[in-house]
Chain A
Amino acid sequence: MHYLLRRIGGAALVLSLAFIVAYVMLTALPGDAVMARYGNPDLGLSAAELAQIRTAYGADRPALLQFLDTVASFLRGDLGYSVQTGAAVSTLLAAALPSTLALALLGLLVAVTVAVVIAVAATHGGLRHLGATRALRSTLRGLPSLMVSLPVFWIGIVLLQVFSFRLGLVPVLNASPLQSLILPVLTLAIPIAAPLAQVLIRSIDEVSAEPFVAVTRARGASTRWLLTRSVARNATLPALTMAGLLFGELVGGAVVTETVFGRMGVGLVTAQAVAARDTPVLMAVVVLSAVVFVVINLVVDLLYPVLDPRLRSTTAAPARREAVAA
């Protein structure tokens, strides 16, 4: 319980720091959201008219006052309005969240599946002893490095070009909800699966070299028994840590994927807000991402003891996490 409280305290600290840093950085850049929208020469507003609008938005007040005002309204749960469009930020996010959630969860699921398949296939004992498949094994081992170096937008565009525009297998427009998810999920999953598979392969290798594996094997355990009972459990821990960290990748991937596919979601909202320097929207996205990041890492931490009995001693749990992950 004490541990949980401490973690929540830490989470609050992370959140406030993320909020402050994001706000300061956005403010430090030349121009602001009101300038981005109304200072645009296309509106042809005179300096006096611009000043009036700035007053109406409160953009002419001291920076500290604006900051405190933003903090106060966030604490009240009021996310404010997008300067660029005037839409309520809560409306924008409510419209965006479900589709991003579906995309992210499915993307993660596919990524984990792909990573496990690659890792198991590349390290499988059955393959290890067949000289003929050495080429296959090194290909499989090389696959994650290739996948991790592909830019997300490039994957998206290539998938679209091949499967939609050339082969006509999946329509981009008027697609059923399932069809509209196939290519974006793949796009998102490939770069996430890659580091997961790399970590899994390495830790399976490492665990396989441990003396207890040799002992178990000497006692007559089959390769599959070894993998599922001994190696997998131990090798999962680093991968789990990695999965927590990969959330960042997921956010970045969603921004690109949703932009390429024109899919409504938090990523698309973020991309549009960045282009317009739309501070209220960006602050809400930062807070939302920070909350999800903190929660996911908390869940990952709480899962360690479940997977590894050695970590079940409550006092030592947080300290030993790094040791295992390293």
Chain B
Amino acid sequence: MASFTRRSALALGISMPALATLAACGASSSGATADGAPVGGGTLTYLEPQTWTTLYPPSAGFYPNGGIVNNITDRLLHQNPETLELEPWIATALPEVNDDATEYTFTLREDVTYSDGTPLDAQNVVKNFDLFGAGDAARALTVSEAINNYDRGEVLDPVTVRFHFTAPAPGFAQAVSTLNSGLLSSATLDRDGQQFGPGNAAEIIGSGPFVIAEEQIGTQLSLTAREDYAWAPASLQHSGRAHLDGIDILVAAEDSVRVGTVTSGQAHLARQIEAPDEPQFAAEGLSLHAAATNGVNNGLNFRFRDPALEDPRIRQALIAAIDRQAIVDTLFTENYPLATGALAATALGHVDTSEHYVHDPELAASLLEEAGWVAGADGIRAKDGQPLTLTFNEALPQPRSKEVVTLLQEQLDELGIDVQLLPGDQAAQNAARAEPGTVQVYHSMVGRADFDVLKSQYASDNRNVLLNTEPDESTGDPELDELLGAIASTPGKEGRAEASATAQAHLAEQAYILPLFEEPQVFGHTAALQGFATESVGRPSFYDAWLEG
């Protein structure tokens, strides 16, 4: 909370009283300002840069999907976006977990129904997780990344469920709170991948505070409040139905159109306000909301199995050569704080490892000399006739990735390191991502508010961004996998925090990564919108939101 307020305040350059107001209505705290109680009614207009692609919850990590799923579904547990603590929601209490975290038992509320009138009961909950935990490739429905080692669900009685795991799964309690575990009616769960796509939105039935009323493929989705909604998490500002009558989610791909539509008062809220557009929201009657994403920071991952980066001195030289502060200052704003480690400062298990990431061009040069890379005739360093050329990917979903790499190109060129940007669209980037020898430095981030996020990003059997297993499927650094595995299999919060700290220290000491900045989700809105909040990874939550006047 503290860091959130600081960032927003800095971004806006606002004064103390305004800061106090912001503190009062930031994150998910308050729906009401000092001078008035929330007003019911009204339809919020919300602009998205991209259209949604599917409402299947395990695929809802994509922000346009998540913004919808988060508001039409409930989850067993609620993760408080400020404290990141888990709280009861559809489950009446935190689950009972056995000692090795292979069995979770949840007791459910009895009064919850889906918007089609069917009950949210034990049988339905098991049906949800049997699909999300195992996936169904035949229906093109994927397994949820957040759920590991899932075996099966069991109905103990109509309000009690138990989940069994083949190996310890300490991350499961947090996993059920993410929107990837949004609960759906039994009929909805029978749909196939195509039937979760555009053209079917109104038939996707959840139990959340909003219901999908109308869909115009590719451009608009209208949500309406559910009148009989009465099971919001207790830590939210109010209970009962949502304040808003409805939400119109519209697609406006062009940055300037989103900005202009909100600043001219034609819409209330827009997601993805790019850093250069932020100053426009400093005007009277406009605000920015920079939501922390609480996961692995936006940063560079050095693929240490690649011949060019095998020598740790090269990786250390890259770290010393890159001026992170210049990147943040040139391309971003105060809403993008300089990273202090692999994880965001607000993320669970964060450890400050910034002493490993000091900018020192002279050290970089001497490390390169020491490693045998000497400047050639064209200014590019070479060793045994091989020029020091590194290819960076373009992280298309991340803000200004191309500009970041271009700036890195300039910085590293001064030290005789040739930087190339891998061209191509998302499909080409995806194809090159796991291709050994194609990309030496991988630019990426991942938002998820659990200890597991570190394993998700770096473990060989997950995203494997360091390509620890390439080119020959042997594991280059088995210790890394072991340390990451411990995060996802050690029961108990303290144990996991310790495992996470050890893994972060290993990443820093081996010079595997260079975290750049903490990546926020930046929303711009008019002053009429009050009580706007985001969940723990920055998707909008409209339950407490209301429109003034």
Interface set of A (CB-CB < 8 Å, partner B)? 29-33, 35-47, 49, 52-53, 55-57, 81-82, 84-88, 91-92, 95-96, 153, 157, 160-161, 164-166, 168, 171-174, 259-264, 268-269, 271-272, 274-277
B403 to chain A, nearest CB (A): 19
Interface set of B (CB-CB < 8 Å, partner A)? 45, 50-51, 53-54, 58-59, 61-62, 135, 137-140, 142-143, 145, 192-200, 216-219, 248, 250-254, 256-257, 260-261, 263-264, 266-267, 397, 424-434, 444, 446, 456, 461-463, 465
A87 & B194 in contact (Cβ 8 Å cutoff): yes
Extra contacts besides A31-B428, A49-B137, A86-B198 (14): CB < 8 Å: A30-B432, A40-B426, A41-B446, A41-B463, A42-B446, A43-B58, A47-B434, A55-B137, A87-B194, A92-B198, A161-B260, A171-B266, A259-B253, A261-B257
Give the residue among B61, B140, B260 with the most A Cβ atoms within 10 A: B140
Total residue contacts A-B, CB cutoff 8 A? 176
B426 & A275 in contact (Cβ 8 Å cutoff): yes
Interchain CB contact (< 8 A) of B197 among A47, A82, A168: A82
Interchain CB contact (< 8 A) of A35 among B62, B427, B456: B427
B427 & A172 in contact (Cβ 8 Å cutoff): no
A262 & B253 in contact (Cβ 8 Å cutoff): yes
B461 & A164 in contact (Cβ 8 Å cutoff): no
With contact pairs A86-B197, A172-B257 given, residues A29 and B427 touching in the complex (Cβ less than 8 Å) = yes
A262 & B138 in contact (Cβ 8 Å cutoff): no
Chain A residues positioned under 8 Å from B248 (CB to CB): 173
B1 to chain A, nearest CB (A): 27
A86 & B196 in contact (Cβ 8 Å cutoff): yes
In the assembled complex, the Cα of A84 lies from the Cα of B446 at a distance in Å of 21
In the assembled complex, the Cα of A276 lies from the Cα of B51 at a distance in Å of 12
With contact pairs A49-B142, A88-B199, A275-B426 given, residues A264 and B264 touching in the complex (Cβ less than 8 Å) = no
A42 & B397 in contact (Cβ 8 Å cutoff): yes
A268 & B264 in contact (Cβ 8 Å cutoff): no
A30 & B145 in contact (Cβ 8 Å cutoff): no
Chain B residues positioned under 8 Å from A168 (CB to CB): 264
With contact pairs A41-B433, A86-B194, A268-B218 given, residues A53 and B140 touching in the complex (Cβ less than 8 Å) = yes
B199 & A173 in contact (Cβ 8 Å cutoff): no
Chain A residues positioned under 8 Å from B465 (CB to CB): 41
In the complex, residue of chain B having the shortest beta-carbon distance to the beta carbon of A262: B252
B217 & A91 in contact (Cβ 8 Å cutoff): yes
Chain B residues positioned under 8 Å from A41 (CB to CB): 430, 433, 444, 446, 463, 465
A-B CB contact pairs (8 Å), 25 listed = A30-B431, A32-B431, A38-B142, A39-B431, A40-B430, A41-B465, A42-B62, A43-B145, A44-B463, A45-B145, A46-B462, A82-B197, A86-B195, A95-B217, A96-B217, A157-B256, A160-B257, A161-B256, A164-B264, A164-B266, A172-B261, A259-B253, A260-B254, A276-B53, A276-B426
Chain A residues positioned under 8 Å from B138 (CB to CB): 56
A51 to chain B, nearest CB (A): 9
In the assembled complex, the Cα of A87 lies from the Cα of B200 at a distance in Å of 8
Chain B residues positioned under 8 Å from A39 (CB to CB): 427, 430-431, 433
In the assembled complex, the Cα of A83 lies from the Cα of B285 at a distance in Å of 42
Chain A residues positioned under 8 Å from B200 (CB to CB): 87
